[in-house]
Chain A
């Protein structure tokens, strides 16, 4: 606003003053000029200089005055006409030829000693005294008063007082205009502002001796000056700048000010220009980076696809985990991807992935376990066949069944389980063998040497049955794996037998006998008393059998719920490691832990990266999931509401919670390595790119999130798993029938 109106205003001001100079002021100055040569020759006691309006003591001083610079300046100025006022409007004292910026300044001048002196002098000389009314210069300047005053003065040279009145009357016609102008000025001047910023400085007696304006940082002694200062332009500008930005201050840019202003504007424009350019450059750079990032991703994806095409079975990274032709799908679903992991996400994710790779069993370990398990399974199947054969003569209908079984067998040796299942009815004592525990869930960690199998029996398993199996199993094992030696032990109190390989790495397979009938009896307690009475005398430990059944259900639940959940299996493995590593966490049983992880991660309602998932588990524990008063972990595999974590004592719950709370804060403050028990991983080298990937990967975590642990699942793993799940489901269906 100000800036636009400013130049216009100044132009107008210049124009008007220019006009006055041409039209009105000229005669006035001419008159002054003509008067001057007249004045000196007049022999008078006083030597009076009309131009400078001063008297000199003698001719000598007068001459000196005329030659002085001051006089010459004045003379030149008079020739040029009245100096065009810099202000829009100002007041002039004609008598002293002084221009004042405002009514107050003018009043001060009139009151002032200098003016009084000139008036006295003029009275002495009998010179005309112009009106004390100010002459308004600039704006709508009416300088005609000068001429009026001069002419009147010429007429009445005798009395100064009369002259004054004379001027007044003579100037009457112009008076209205003049008053208007004065009013204008007054209005523009308004009230003084910012009185509270003017400090009174007092002397010791408490008398005010001077004033200090805090806004303008100036001092003055006169109370009048203070008044004037407060109305002054400079003060008002400061006030506007520092106190009330809405205060209107009339514009008055001098040439210099204008120049400064223009310079400022120019510089500002330059600066803006520079910023704009810089911004553009930044955007371009940004754009480019995005482009390359996009490009890189695309190439990576292409590469991956190519790879998949070349190795249709899936990435070659993890070699087949089991001998080909095995009936069982991979027993470690959710292998850590050896795949070219796209750069892992956050630092947390990187740590979790690294830790996971560290605790994940080696190929040899997996191979060894796989071997003994499959051998045991095959041998058990043959034991089952053998027992069926031995028992068969007692029953008449066995033969067709056996035939059927043979058919099944011919279909494929490996399909033995299916064969077993189809073969129902009472004759078979051993109906099937199933993997449970870490083996079924794929939670094996490095160094694990103990796995579990469950054999489902047609009737309640007895000690006799256990003995029969244990007796026959070595023979069958010898048939299945001739080159390997196995050691078999009976653990009657566990309702199990243990198969151990003989070699440098001892792996033991616990084979527990159980039967669905054990639970059926429990489920309908009322009418099952009759059956209970029929229990054979040497029936195996009931609780162990029930535990084995529960383990079966847990495995089934795990495959249905946890396996498909992103990051879940990985987090469970990490926590398993934690429970083994940290004594505080030891009491947390694995079933409760698995259940908790699944619930916590699934309830997030979004895909979580491994790091986020782990953090969320700690968050849940930290917020008191295990503490008394919490809802507890309802076991989905039990009929009655049971807290899966019920074995935990109050103190254990408390300790685990406190530990989780500390762990959560460690994770939040970038010390996840302390939680995981590993060394910190330095940030990736390619920081620039890394940054961007990370950003993007987080963004897209929903879309491609599975890659952390799912690359394998996505390939061939998933299908197998599903079958696997169905398999066991079928088993379960049977078992509960």
Chain B
């Protein structure tokens, strides 16, 4: 039922839901390509500079300093690396020699992969958590996850009995965490693709969770291939920090931030990486110009088929919130408030309250989104908007 509804809306092409790859529509059905918002970097040639660009070396220095503050210390990195290596070794053993493991736990490991900020090199200090995804050949039951956790932990303990290890189950049974005094490794469980169809919500982990773990693998692979530029990593760290400090950016997922950073740095006419100060400002400019609003082409997920725009995972209300936060911060930034934005001074109230910069009053913005009223069945508008609302699922029918 839901499926058909979504489909129907998509067909209208009203908002930008790209059509699923339906073979039956033939050449008649052209796809409506949603528009990218105004992007100064892409149309620089139309806007020649009236006066030379202001000197931004102080801003750049502040960005680099903030990045240095946010990056994990060598000790932290070593601690995580150490724990990850050990766990990876234990898991590899289980793959190579499933025999003894199999006897007590009936799940078999297909593959173990490191993902997330640890793998991408975008970890933040004070958050010493590495993510590992374990793909099981078997169907992931809650018991299997538990048993695997116990087994891995036992093996680790038998290797180094003096180390204090804590095993915690993650909520929703998505996996488990093994931590020592300095670092934590989060092991996320999923299963091979073929098994996804065979899942029973009563017995196994939630399919959405499993899929998100598989997606995490694709993400880290994509990242490795496309976004290894170190400016991107610096920018991601800065954006994550921004997200942590400004409530309005809460709805942005790490993956959205990764893509946004990559887009802001590499998507320019010369295809050369932009310097960090321009890229940071561009992120705010893009968000402020509505890159992640309904009607915008946004950024389509490179790891999913069917042109899914990443921002559709947010609700409309969240899209509004993210946009208005970026808009306010952009104005603060252009009036010289970079220290407050980077968290070097002041607090996050600049995003929600009036502030004064050099005699210029910068006011916060109001929400624009309104919940559609009880919608009459024929109301095209709100309907259309809704179509934008529900996240991607319906697209891949």
Q: Show the binding face of A for B, using Cβ within 8 Å.
A: 191, 193-197, 214, 239, 241-246, 283, 286, 290, 346-347, 599-600, 602-606, 608, 612, 615-616, 619-620, 622-625, 627-634, 641-643, 650-651, 654, 657-658, 661-662, 664-671, 683-684, 687, 690-691, 694-695, 698-700
Q: Chain B 155-176, CB within 8 Å of chain A: the 1/0 string?
A: 0000000000000000000000
| CB <8 Å contact, B324 and A661 | yes
Report the minimal beta-carbon distance from B14 to chain A, rounded to whole angstroms.
Answer: 7
Report the minimal beta-carbon distance from A344 to chain B, rounded to whole angstroms.
Answer: 13
Given contacts A630-B334, A643-B51, A651-B359, list 19 more A-B pairs with CB under 8 A: A195-B104, A196-B106, A243-B139, A244-B138, A245-B198, A246-B138, A283-B24, A346-B14, A603-B43, A620-B289, A622-B289, A623-B289, A624-B40, A658-B327, A665-B369, A669-B293, A671-B368, A694-B13, A699-B32
Q: Does B258 belong to the interface (CB within 8 Å)?
A: no
| CB <8 Å contact, A657 and B323 | no
Selected from A244, A632, A665, the residue in CB contact (under 8 A) with B293 is A665
| CB <8 Å contact, B289 and A627 | no
* Given contacts A634-B49, A671-B368, A620 and B38 within 8 Å (CB-CB): yes
Report the minimal beta-carbon distance from A643 to chain B, rounded to whole angstroms.
Answer: 4
Report the minimal beta-carbon distance from A637 to chain B, rounded to whole angstroms.
Answer: 14
In the complex, which residues of chain A have a beta carbon less than 8 angstroms from the beta carbon of B104?
195-196
Complex formed: what's the CA distance from A691 to B384 in Å? Answer: 10
Complex formed: what's the CA distance from A214 to B143 in Å? Answer: 10
| CB <8 Å contact, B288 and A624 | yes
Complex formed: what's the CA distance from A245 to B107 in Å? Answer: 11
| CB <8 Å contact, A244 and B285 | no
Q: Does B66 belong to the interface (CB within 8 Å)?
A: no
| CB <8 Å contact, B143 and A244 | no
| CB <8 Å contact, A615 and B50 | no
Q: Show the binding face of B for A, using Cβ within 8 Å.
A: 11-14, 24-25, 28, 30-32, 35, 37-40, 42-51, 53-54, 103-108, 137-139, 141, 143-144, 147, 194-195, 198, 200, 203-204, 285-286, 288-290, 293-296, 316, 319-320, 323-324, 327, 330-331, 334-335, 358-363, 365-370, 378-382, 384-385
* Given contacts A195-B106, A631-B48, A242 and B368 within 8 Å (CB-CB): no
Selected from B13, B296, B358, B370, the residue in CB contact (under 8 A) with A669 is B370
Complex formed: what's the CA distance from A631 to B285 in Å? Answer: 14
| CB <8 Å contact, B14 and A691 | yes
In the complex, which residues of chain B have a beta carbon less than 8 angstroms from the beta carbon of A605?
43
In the complex, which residues of chain B have a beta carbon less than 8 angstroms from the beta carbon of A239?
106
| CB <8 Å contact, A690 and B380 | yes
| CB <8 Å contact, B47 and A246 | no
* Given contacts A662-B365, A668-B368, A623 and B38 within 8 Å (CB-CB): yes
Complex formed: what's the CA distance from A631 to B45 in Å? Answer: 10
In the complex, which residues of chain A have a beta carbon less than 8 angstroms from the beta carbon of B48?
631, 634, 641
In the complex, which residues of chain B have a beta carbon less than 8 angstroms from the beta carbon of A243?
106-107, 138-139, 141, 144
Residue of B nearest to A290 (CB): B28
Q: Please give me the 7 A-B residue pairs with the lowest Cβ-Cβ distance, nearest first.
A: A603-B43, A665-B368, A632-B50, A683-B380, A695-B13, A623-B289, A619-B38
| CB <8 Å contact, B49 and A632 | yes
| CB <8 Å contact, B47 and A634 | yes
| CB <8 Å contact, A196 and B366 | no
Complex formed: what's the CA distance from A634 to B31 in Å? Answer: 37
* Given contacts A243-B139, A629-B54, A662 and B38 within 8 Å (CB-CB): no
* Given contacts A662-B365, A687-B378, A694-B14, A627 and B49 within 8 Å (CB-CB): no
* Given contacts A624-B330, A654-B361, A695-B13, A196 and B143 within 8 Å (CB-CB): yes
| CB <8 Å contact, A244 and B137 | yes
In the complex, which residues of chain A have a beta carbon less than 8 angstroms from the beta carbon of B147?
196
Residue of A nearest to B200 (CB): A242
Complex formed: what's the CA distance from A619 to B366 in Å? Answer: 17
In the complex, which residues of chain B have a beta carbon less than 8 angstroms from the beta carbon of A245?
138-139, 194-195, 198
Selected from A241, A630, A700, the residue in CB contact (under 8 A) with B40 is A630
Complex formed: what's the CA distance from A634 to B366 in Å? Answer: 32
Residue of B14, B50, B147, B323 most packed against chain A (CB within 10 A): B50
Report the minimal beta-carbon distance from B106 to chain A, rounded to whole angstroms.
Answer: 5
Report the minimal beta-carbon distance from B320 to chain A, rounded to whole angstroms.
Answer: 6
| CB <8 Å contact, A668 and B290 | yes
| CB <8 Å contact, B144 and A669 | no
* Given contacts A622-B288, A624-B288, A599 and B335 within 8 Å (CB-CB): no
Complex formed: what's the CA distance from A651 to B11 in Å? Answer: 45
| CB <8 Å contact, B295 and A623 | no
Report the minimal beta-carbon distance from B310 to chain A, rounded to whole angstroms.
Answer: 16
* Given contacts A629-B334, A651-B360, A658 and B37 within 8 Å (CB-CB): no
| CB <8 Å contact, A670 and B385 | yes
Complex formed: what's the CA distance from A383 to B174 in Å? Answer: 90
Complex formed: what's the CA distance from A243 to B106 in Å? Answer: 8
Complex formed: what's the CA distance from A700 to B33 in Å? Answer: 11
Residue of A nearest to B50 (CB): A632
Residue of A nearest to B42 (CB): A603
In the complex, which residues of chain A have a beta carbon less than 8 angstroms from the beta carbon of B288?
622-624, 661
| CB <8 Å contact, B106 and A193 | yes
Residue of A nearest to B191 (CB): A245
Complex formed: what's the CA distance from A625 to B103 in Å? Answer: 67
* Given contacts A244-B137, A631-B49, A665 and B106 within 8 Å (CB-CB): no
Complex formed: what's the CA distance from A481 to B379 in Å? Answer: 56
Residue of A nearest to B361 (CB): A651
Selected from A622, A669, A694, the residue in CB contact (under 8 A) with B294 is A669
Report the minimal beta-carbon distance from B316 to chain A, rounded to whole angstroms.
Answer: 7
Residue of A nearest to B144 (CB): A243
Report the minimal beta-carbon distance from A281 to chain B, rounded to whole angstroms.
Answer: 12
| CB <8 Å contact, B290 and A627 | no
| CB <8 Å contact, A246 and B105 | no
Complex formed: what's the CA distance from A623 to B334 in Å? Answer: 11
Complex formed: what's the CA distance from A600 to B38 in Å? Answer: 8
In the complex, which residues of chain A have a beta carbon less than 8 angstroms from the beta carbon of B39?
623
| CB <8 Å contact, B137 and A622 | no
Residue of A241, A600, A619, A641 most packed against chain B (CB within 10 A): A619
Residue of A nearest to B383 (CB): A683
In the complex, which residues of chain B have a beta carbon less than 8 angstroms from the beta carbon of A666?
368
* Given contacts A622-B288, A629-B54, A242 and B203 within 8 Å (CB-CB): yes
Report the minimal beta-carbon distance from B130 to chain A, rounded to whole angstroms.
Answer: 27
* Given contacts A196-B105, A620-B38, A698 and B320 within 8 Å (CB-CB): no
In the complex, which residues of chain A have a beta carbon less than 8 angstroms from the beta carbon of B25?
286
Selected from A346, A619, A627, A662, the residue in CB contact (under 8 A) with B368 is A662
Complex formed: what's the CA distance from A634 to B44 in Å? Answer: 12
| CB <8 Å contact, B107 and A631 | no
Report the minimal beta-carbon distance from B336 to chain A, rounded to whole angstroms.
Answer: 8
| CB <8 Å contact, A661 and B365 | yes
| CB <8 Å contact, B195 and A619 | no
In the complex, which residues of chain A have a beta carbon less than 8 angstroms from the beta carbon of B293?
664-665, 668-669
* Given contacts A194-B106, A634-B49, A624 and B331 within 8 Å (CB-CB): yes
| CB <8 Å contact, A657 and B331 | yes
Report the minimal beta-carbon distance from B136 to chain A, rounded to whole angstroms.
Answer: 9
* Given contacts A347-B381, A631-B47, A619 and B24 within 8 Å (CB-CB): no
Complex formed: what's the CA distance from A592 to B330 in Å? Answer: 22
Residue of B25, B47, B359 most packed against chain A (CB within 10 A): B47
| CB <8 Å contact, B316 and A669 | yes
* Given contacts A197-B143, A668-B368, A643 and B361 within 8 Å (CB-CB): no
Complex formed: what's the CA distance from A687 to B376 in Å? Answer: 13
| CB <8 Å contact, A624 and B290 | no
Complex formed: what's the CA distance from A654 to B330 in Å? Answer: 11
| CB <8 Å contact, B12 and A694 | yes
Selected from B47, B50, B319, B331, the residue in CB contact (under 8 A) with A642 is B50
Q: List 12 A-B contacts (CB under 8 A).
A: A193-B106, A242-B200, A347-B380, A603-B42, A612-B35, A624-B330, A631-B50, A632-B47, A691-B11, A694-B14, A699-B13, A699-B32
Report the minimal beta-carbon distance from B22 to chain A, rounded to whole angstroms.
Answer: 10
Complex formed: what's the CA distance from A191 to B104 in Å? Answer: 11
In the complex, which residues of chain B have a beta carbon less than 8 angstroms from the beta carbon of A629?
53-54, 334
Complex formed: what's the CA distance from A117 to B105 in Å? Answer: 40
